[in-house]
Amino acid sequence: MTELKYDVAGIGNALVDVIADADDHFLVANGIEKGSMTLIDTDRADELYGRMGQAIEMSGGSCANTIAGLASLGGKGAFFGKVKKDQLGQVFEHDIKSLGVHFPAPLAEDGPPTGRCLILVTPDAQRSMNTYLGAAQNLTADDIDADIIKASFATYMEGYLWDRPGAKEAFLKAAKIARDAGRIVSLTLSDSFCVARYRDEFRTLVKDEVDLLFANEAEILSLYEVDLFDEALAQVKKDCKFAALTRSEAGAVIVAEGEVHVVDADKVAKVIDTTGAGDLFAAGFLYGLSHGYSPVHSARLGAMAAAEVISHYGPRPQVSLAKLAKEKGL
């Protein structure tokens, strides 16, 4: 077996987040689905950006946020994603490499600009995402380095990749390489609207390809088309060896080889922005598993990381999660 070099190899949409406050009236007036992720084209991106208030720009992308969180915990990560050689692309490359993450893909010289996600945060801390994929949509199977996948404890992929055929092929190629190498294949469902678009494919994927599934309550209910969480839990126990199901302030339910554990959410003085909460929970959980921690201990790390990221704007930690974990005795 190939020697382990990385804890997690992530595959996802490389994006720069543009975050601004908004009220519900703004969402309605601009036809924005609250709490969801909607794909938009260049014209819509320009139009919406022009209407947004003062914004904060920072590197994002669901899977990239998870790998950034892993690095903050002291883990070793690699990330596959596409950006263009433009201002935002260079920001993304700088940010992820500065964390010590291996980012092997060269910046594209031509094609669409670096992707961005326009995020509107309402007073209830809900985030409504409008994503222009740009260069990110050009990720293909050719961009996947088999040696990196083989050398990673887990390969982690975001459900958003299913929106583009080339990225889907990259996803399936990486999963096969990881399985053949005896590594863990992990998937986050990303968004309940994303699940609704590809429900049948996701069900097959979860049952046949995935060892570790991440989902929030809305996503897992959508996947199995049920109204009760316990019904979805019973189904995921049949389909996956491991699952981490987050339920906001109610904490998380962990499935580990048939056993079910409930882990409390960490207390937060005030929730500012829920962007990145699921991404950072996954970071903590994956760090824990890849370092030999129990699933419950891993989930506590995830809860800690999620609590940190929702206490401020932006999808990535603003303090060292490794230091924070030490302070909390984790």
Per-residue confidence (pLDDT) for residue 163, from 0 to 100? 83
Question: Residue 177, class by beta-carbon neighbours within 10 Å (0-12 exposed, 13-18 middle, 19+ buried)?
Answer: buried
Per-residue confidence (pLDDT) for residue 82, from 0 to 100? 94
Total-model pTM: 0.92
User: H-helix or E-strand containing 147?
Assistant: helix 146-150
Per-residue confidence (pLDDT) for residue 252, from 0 to 100? 96
pLDDT in tens, 284-305: 999 999 999 999 999 999 999 9
Per-residue confidence (pLDDT) for residue 1, from 0 to 100? 65
Which residues, 6 or more positions from 279, have their beta carbon under 8 angstroms from its beta carbon?
62, 63, 65, 66, 69, 188, 309, 315
Per-residue confidence (pLDDT) for residue 36, from 0 to 100? 85
- The answer to whether 253 and 285 have CB atoms below 8 angstroms apart is no
Per-residue confidence (pLDDT) for residue 106, from 0 to 100? 87
Per-residue confidence (pLDDT) for residue 60, from 0 to 100? 87
Q: How many CB atoms lie within 10 A of CB 7?
A: 23
Per-residue confidence (pLDDT) for residue 42, from 0 to 100? 87
| Segment-wise mean pLDDT, segments of 10 residues, the chain, 330 residues | 91 92 95 90 91 89 95 98 93 94 92 92 90 92 96 96 88 95 95 90 94 96 96 95 94 93 93 89 98 97 96 90 94
